[in-house]
Structures are given as C-alpha cells and as structure tokens.
Amino acid sequence: MKLGRLNHVGVATPSIADSITLYRETMGAVAIGEPFDLPAQGVKVCFVDTPNAQIELIEPLGDASPIHGFLAKNPGGGQHHLCYEVPDINEAKAWFEAKGARVLGEPRIGAHGTMIFFVHPKDMGGVLTEIMETPKDGH
C-alpha cells in the first residue's frame, strides 16, 4: 500500500456552532463550509479549509453516534482522528488486516463522497485512523 497525503484532522465538538466561532475568531479561518448532517455516520459535519488540509468538525447526531463515548471522556471536545488518503480502499483494507490492525466495520461512503474505513486506535499508537480513497478531483 502507498500512503497518501493527510486529508483531514477530525475534531469532535459538543457544538459545531461554538467551534465555528472559535475557528473564525480565534484561529482566523476564512474558508468554513456549511454544516450538514450525515445520519449514516451518526455525525453532523463542518469542514474548515486550511491551505494544506482540512479540519473536520464533528458533532454527535442521534443516540448511536460513534463519538458519544469520546465526548463523555472529553466533554469540551478534542482531536478525534487523522485521515489519510490511499489510491485503493480495498488494497488498503487488506494491508491493515494483514498487519493485524483492527479495521472497524466495512468500507463505506464518507463525507467527501469516497470510500472510507477506520482502524482501531489501540492498534495505531493511540490514534484513531481514517483511511480514505483519494477523491477524483483531488480534494
């Protein structure tokens, strides 16, 4: 497998609205997208663009959101995952499995419209790792 560029840093927050204010007023972010719901992933999402990567703000959506546990431990929010691009999602899944790393569920469509999967943080040096097939438009 050939690891590609860092696509985004996932940041869990109890309030995307409050985080947008923080990123705009304290961080000086100028390219902040509109928040949208992603019910299949149990999160509300908002992209903050930086020149070389995105910050992906995620807020829990619904009772079964996968980030409830994280926010219970980190009520103010915090860095949740790192996402790297790969050219081929199935090849990448087979690669991680062959290394003995736990792939969490099956690949599914992510917020950028390409296939993603997650690798367990306990098998990745404490970092919840998202693997994403490179978008065809390069974003």
Ligand X SMILES: CC[C@@H](C(=O)O)C(=O)SCCNC(=O)CCNC(=O)[C@H](O)C(C)(C)COP(=O)(O)OP(=O)(O)OC[C@H]1O[C@@H](n2cnc3c(N)ncnc32)[C@H](O)[C@@H]1OP(=O)(O)O
Residue burial 66-76, b: 16+ Cβ < 10 Å; e: rest: bbeebbeeeee
- Residue 25 burial (CB count, 10 A): 9
Applying CB under 6 A, among 38, 53, 61, 101 the residue interacting with ligand X is 38
According to CB under 5 A, which one of 9, 10, 23, 86 is a site residue for Co ion?
10
Q: How far apart are CA 76 and CA 12, in angstroms?
A: 9
Interface pattern 49-88 for ligand X (x via CB under 6 A): -------x-x-------xx-xx--x------xx-x-----
58 interface partner picked from Co ion, ligand X, none, CB below 5 to 8 A per type: ligand X
85 is catalytic: no
14 lines the binding site for ligand X (CB under 6 A): no
42 Cβ contact partners less than 8 Å away, ≥ 6 residues apart = 60, 61, 62, 64, 65, 66, 67
Binding residue count for ligand X, defined by CB under 6 A: 25
Out of Co ion, ligand X, none, what residue 32 binds, judged by CB under 5 to 8 A for its kind, is none
Strands (DSSP E) found in the chain? 6-12, 31-32, 36-38, 43-49, 54-60, 78-86, 103-109, 115-119, 129-133
Q: Does 103 bind ligand X (CB under 6 A)?
A: no
Which positions touch ligand X (CB under 6 A)? 10, 38, 41, 43, 45, 56, 58, 66-67, 69-70, 73, 80-81, 83, 104, 110-111, 116, 118, 121-122, 126, 128, 130
Catalytic residues: 130
